Structure formats: C-alpha cells, structure tokens
Amino acid sequence: MPAKAYLRSPSPASRVPTDEGVFEIAFAGKPGSYRYSFISRGNMTPTLLELKDDLTHLTLAPELGGSLVNWTVRSTGQPLLRHSDAHALNTGLPGKLGCFPLAPWSNRISEGGFDRPDGWLALTPNSHTDPLPIHGSAWQQPWQVVSQTRDEVVLQLDSTTPFAYRARQRLRLSEGKLSIDLHVTHLAELAAWHGLGFHPYLPRTAGTRLQAQARQVWLCDAVKLPTTLTSLPGEWDFQQLKGLPDTLVDNGFCEWDGHCLIQQPDLGYELQCQATGSDYYLLYCPVGLEFFCIEPVSHPVNAHHLPGRPGLVLLEQGQSTELGFSLQYRELG
C-alpha cells in the first residue's frame, strides 16, 4: 500500500473551544494527523516589546506569533509597515499586524498534507479564511523572549506542531535598518521538509513603486495554488521601479536575487530591502486596500507537491535552516 493511502481521506475537521480561548482544529483518530491550536484572544491586549535606534521605533507582540506590530520613524511617527491600531492588536490575529514569521513552511499546501521519508503527514486547515493549511504553525503560537536590549531582541518558539522544531528570531535596529534573522532547528526523530519566510504588510498609496528582479512567476488557480510557471507579464515585471498593478496579484515570483526597493514618494521615504536564503518572493496586492505584501520565502507555494520540492530542505533531527531579511529606511529629499 502506498504511504499516502491510509490518510488520503481523513474524517472531517473539528473545531473545539478550550478553557483558555484556544480553538483546536483536528482530524480525529487518524495516524500521523495532528491537532492544530491557534490563539483567539478576544479583547485581551498582549504585552508589547519595544526596540529603538536613533531613527526608528519597533514594537513587537511575542505572544501573537512573534509578530511585529508597528515600525515607525521616531521624528515623524510615519509608519514603515502597515499601521496596527488598538483594534488590530486586540483581534489577536497576526494577519492584522505588521509582519509575522513563516515556519515550517510558507503559504498554502494542497492535498491535506505532504510526504516525509517515513510516510504521509496529514495537515488540517488552520485559518478561518482559507480552506488549505497556510503559513506553517509559528505564526499562531506564542513566542518567548530569550534576551532583549535597547535595539535587539531574541525570541524563541519550541513547537510540536506539525512536528517538533525550535524557531528563533533575532531582530535588530541600527541606524534605521531593521534586520530579522529566522533560524529553525528540526527536533523530531523523523525527518521532515522545511521552508521559511516573512510576511510583512507595507503601506500602499497611489504613488507606491516597487523594484524586484525576478525571472519567472507562477500563475494560479481559483484556490491560489500554482499551475503554470511562465515569463513575467509586462504589468508584473518589476526589473525597474514601477507602480503596483490595479488588479489583484497573489503570486509567487522565482529566480529572485534577494533585493527589492520600495519607494513611497507620497510618504517621503524608501525601503531598501535584502533577503538571504530566499530565491523567491510572493507579491500580494489586494484591490482597494491601503497595503501590499512582498514576502521573502525559501520556496514557492505548494512546493511540497511540485516536482523536486523546490526550495524546501529535508532536515534530520538536530539540523537547521535559516532565512534573513533586512529593510533599510531612507528619507526621500
């Protein structure tokens, strides 16, 4: 019998509220499946941490998936990430904040799970807004503070979902530069595929311009899974600075050099960004909203089911992988 066969059609997912405001989504009673918990905080305000350098101010909510809440210019209060107000914070949802880490995978996985060397690992949907498992598990678990200074903090997550791993984020501010390093170590006895990324939300105005050099893009189906790898359409070619499309974009770009420039002439600044360990980025431009996302990731969407599993790393117990992302603020004259 193929390794996948006994888990291809698991029993329906259930959502069970617990005493601590945690909802568990589970496929009941199936070998290799797991219970997935995510925090629903209601109106409870999380504890915030602050980092400062001479130019910028960063606030974080470790217990909300190790998320960044706001990053602003100290002299003006100008947001450099999408502004998160008290309502956004009190939702307890990382997707309403400024940025969150992606581990042990980025974006969506189809078919209810993926193969490991020892067999099939079943996954369940983990978001009220998406029918597929999305963005891994690190963003929906509380992180712990390992150390903190005025301009640097180290956060850690010890997770057992969907397998045992340890994630560390080191965040630093220096002269207007935000640097984030994500390091993940596989702790489970059985090997598994890993992928990493970051999911920043950035302000968008009519004048926002982007430069990011990639060579190809994945076209997607109705459930936002990749179907065709193709050359860049003209409106998605950001080899040179250009405005963002007016139509929806929610696609993965390939053969990226890791650099991008975000110019905000209406807001008076630009961000020079650089990623390490990332040959791909996801661009999300929703229609009619005042934000967009450019997400540095180590692999394309649904890489677990693409030929060769591009960008994923198979880790044995004790082995690690990492991804870095930096954003340098500069005032426009």
pLDDT tens-digit readout, 220-277: 999 999 999 999 999 999 999 999 999 999 999 999 999 999 999 999 999 999 999 9
**Residue 22's CB: how many other CB atoms inside 10 A?**
14
pLDDT in tens, 170-221: 999 999 999 999 999 999 999 999 999 999 999 999 999 999 999 999 999 9
Overall number of domains in the chain: 1
> What's the CATH code of the domain at 132?
2.70.98.10
Look at the chain and count its residues. 333
At residue 333, the pLDDT reads 86
pLDDT in tens, 306-322: 999 999 999 999 999 99
At residue 305, the pLDDT reads 98
Domain extent, residue 115, equals 5-331
Distance separating alpha carbons of residues 212 and 215, to the nearest angstrom: 10
Longest dimension (CA), the chain: 66
Closest CA to 307 of 194, 219, 196, 229: 229
Q: Amino acid identity, residue 321?
A: T
pLDDT in tens, 88-128: 999 999 999 999 999 999 999 999 999 999 999 999 999 98
Percentage of the chain beyond pLDDT 90 is 86
At residue 43, the pLDDT reads 55
Examine the pLDDT at 4 and tell me if it is beyond 80: no
| Least confident segment among 1-10, 61-70, 129-138, 249-258 | 1-10
Name the band, by pLDDT with cuts 50, 70 and 90, for residue 2. very low
Distance separating alpha carbons of residues 64 and 97, to the nearest angstrom: 9
Tokens representing 47?
Answer: 């504890």
